[in-house]
Amino acid sequence: SEVLQKLIDNGIVIELNTSPPRMGYPEIFPSKSLLKKYYDLGGRNVTLGSDAHRLEDIAGDFEMAEDALSGLDLKVIMFRDRWVVETE
């Protein structure tokens, strides 16, 4: 939680990455429990990524991200050239 707190204190937004299930892992990263800890420490924003190296993987497993975010008041934000351009 010290690392999470440093990220939050420095305004760094974490990425909810949906690629692990495509590589055989059971859940996306970070896990729902880690997202909750991030929220409890004061984190409020996340960005989504699918690590798509193939066209068919773009936005892959985003429904798992939706599930992981349910019950948490985390806002999904989008960046373009390091600037926030869109929020959910």
d(CA 27, CA 47): 17
In this structure, what token pair is assigned to residue 21? 């299930």
At residue 38, the pLDDT reads 96
d(CA 17, CA 27): 10
d(CA 64, CA 62): 5
DSSP-derived 3-state class of residue 53: coil
For the stretch 20-62, pLDDT in tens is 888 888 888 999 999 999 999 999 999 998 887 778 877 777 8
Q: pTM of the entire structure?
A: 0.81
* DSSP 8-class letter at 18: -
d(CA 20, CA 44): 23
